[in-house]
Amino acid sequence: MTSKDTSDEATKLANLEKTSANWDLTSDVRSTPPKLLILASRRLSAITPVIESITPTASPDTKIIPLELDLASLSSVRKAAAEPLNLTPVVDVLINNAAVMMLQEYTTTTPEGIEMHMAINHVGHFLFTNLVIPALLKAPQPGRVVNVTSAAYFASPVRFDNLNFKDGSEYEPFLAYAQSKTANLLFSVGLARKLGGRGLLSFGVDPGGWRLEDGSPNPAIPWKTAAQSVASYIIAGFDPDTKDHNGETIAAGDFAQGVPPHAKDPEAADKLWALIEKLVGQEFGYWFGSKYQAGVAGYRTL
């Protein structure tokens, strides 16, 4: 892509972790400057070094805003989602990236009681995204939602009948992580189904295994460079040739083949959507008559 492809975009939002590919993605975005770049993290201290690193070479026309967002707290998510809407009427790209992995002790959110992998990796993103959907639908080019997953989605479907592992008595850290990564892909499927008719695009991204926090490769995973990981983010967020693949998954810089049925099943996506609405206590209706087609937003507290 050339800078012309993205230079007119108003706002990009990214949920940030220092060890994530988003750390490097911010450097690529500055070469095609948005008017507003919002970087979200649970701790503002995690965002400060990113802003300091990109500011010297960022466009003077780009405003970079830190956003405090604790995905384990629905009240924090609601508060954080209101801030971008106060800053801008339009959001072009939202990248849902933050995650936890392999928590050895079973923990849940308070007061909702949602298992922590599912809460942070999916439920928080689901709520934040739906709250900023009105701004994404106003994007002059199709608004985009990028949901970052991992190859762990191969290992488990969403456990609809036992989402919380019998309140921890059957807790398995890897399966908890895996089902949350499947949920990320089903969220993109759901967004494409419900809002594709309004032009919204959503993709899952599997960036692959890459460096640990100390910069060393994880020996258990065929790792990629940061640049290779970022390539999939860039394609999902900005490539104009992806429009015919709405709801699909990108891995290794291309659309993934062999995604298991449980991670792309439309019925599972609808079932998950309804379940998460109950968990967050709010319905997000995007309908045309009785069909989820046109993407007219309607919110209802449950």
Q: How far apart are CA 1 and CA 247, in angstroms?
A: 21
How many other C-beta atoms can be found within 10 angstroms of the C-beta atom of residue 51? 16
> Which of the 8 DSSP states describes residue 18?
T
Strand, helix or coil for residue 201: strand
Q: Distances in Å between the alpha carbon of 28 and those of 16, 148, 276?
A: 15, 17, 33
How many other C-beta atoms can be found within 10 angstroms of the C-beta atom of residue 231? 23
Active site residues: 177
Q: Which residues contact 32 (CB under 8 A, 6 or more apart)?
A: 1, 3, 5, 6, 7, 238
Give the residue from 70, 77, 74, 164 showing the smallest Cα distance to 117: 164
